[in-house]
Amino acid sequence: MRYRVQLLGLVLIVMSFLSGFHGVIPVMAQSEEVVQVVYFYSPTCPHCNVVKAEVLPPLEARYGESLEIAHLDTSLPQGQALWQAAVERYEPSLIGVPMIVIGDKVLVGSLEIPQQLPIYIEQYLLAGGVGWPDLPGIETAVADLASPVNDTATLRTRFMRDPLGNSVSVVVLVALLISIVLVIRPRRWQQRLTTRLPNWAMLVVLTIGLAAAIYLSYVDTTGAEAFCGPVGDCNTVQQSEYAFIFGFLPLAVVGVIGYLSIMGVYVYNTWIRPDSDLLHAATFLMSFFGLGVSVFLTYLQPFVIGATCAWCLTSALCMMADTLMSAGKGWPAVERRLPFLALLVAPAGRSGARRARYARRRRSARRFR
């Protein structure tokens, strides 16, 4: 009886020992199988940062050497070429980053990737693993990733990602800054320019800017690939965090609203209720504000994002022309209706006279109350 109890205890110990390795043995058997995944991202894409920081690290820790992920930066020529090749080959329903290619499967977005990627990893591991996607140059790109990806880049590195397009952005930026200097104060040539131009000239400029904003809104809201022409990389710009307000509202949509507002006020003040001081002032001030925003966004393209959007530059130039054309009637209207704004930009020698005129208008206004 004593030996039976000892034998039973030994059997229980062996069974417990084996059961403890029950979940380890399959993993050890699968450790030779590898799933290779390509992850396309943009350094300025907030959704890419979510996937990189919150989705991929737990999977890499869980599967260890059984999972290999190649991080390819779409803001660089090599990553951009492979991303475009993947889009052409697999034709995903959504186009953009973050994008995962695993086998013949494509996942896009910070919602689809965490939901579907673990499932596909398990399926491919059970099937014996899967190699890199069949994309031209993928082996070379993976070999170049010997060191960890570093998203920080110097200003020169960002600029050299698209030297031709970014050089065009710098030229446009200089033109925008010069235009601000020209319209920051009222000048006589502004009125001469306004009188020499036909009324429809400004409407044409606004229509061109509105068309560019509408097209970019379509790209942002549908995820379609933007046509940029021979200069620039519109898709990289539109995929950056600066293309959205609060992380979800496309900036291009705000641009459409701005152009429609300026156009509506201008049309009403030109053909329906001509020469209203308040409407002249509103047209000029809205245009000037849009010019300031355009300066900031144009600066971001070559020096922060490292890419240039031709449609964005078109909109910026239209806003510049609109501001120059509206200053001739806008500044006199601002001086009459909003004199305190004119005081802010008055030259030192003229500020006293402007303040005196402002005080006289205030006294006249009180007299008629």
Torsion, CA 26, CA 29, CA 33, CA 35, rounded to 10: 20
Q: What is the DSSP string of 80-118?
A: HHHHHHHHHHH--SS-SSSEEEETTEEEESTTHHHHHHH
Burial of 63 (0-12, 13-18, 19+ CB in 10 A): buried
Per-residue confidence (pLDDT) for residue 198, from 0 to 100: 94
The sheet carrying 35-41 orders its strands as 67-73, 35-41, 99-102, 105-108
Q: How many angstroms separate the CA atoms of 149 and 142, rounded?
A: 12
Selection from 306, 293, 230 nearest residue 258 by Cα: 293
Using the CB atoms, write b or e for 272-296: b if 16+ within 10 Å: eeeebbebbbbbbbbbbebbebbbe
Q: What is the DSSP string of 47-61?
A: HHHHIIIIIHHHHHH
Q: List, for the chain, all residue ranges whose pLDDT scores fall below the cut of 50.
A: 1-8, 10-31, 146-152, 348-349, 351, 365-369
Beta bridge mates, 37:
69, 102
Query: Can you list the domains of the chain with their CATH numbers?
Result: 33-143 (3.40.30.10), 155-362 (1.20.1440.130)
- Work out whether strand 67-73 and strand 35-41 pair parallel, antiparallel, or are unpaired: parallel
Three-class DSSP category at 245: strand
Per-residue confidence (pLDDT) for residue 75, from 0 to 100: 75
Q: How many angstroms separate the CA atoms of 19 and 69, rounded?
A: 33
Per-residue confidence (pLDDT) for residue 37, from 0 to 100: 95
Full-model pTM? 0.62
Selection from 362, 220, 229, 237 nearest residue 302 by Cα: 237
Q: How many angstroms separate the CA atoms of 8 and 28, rounded?
A: 30
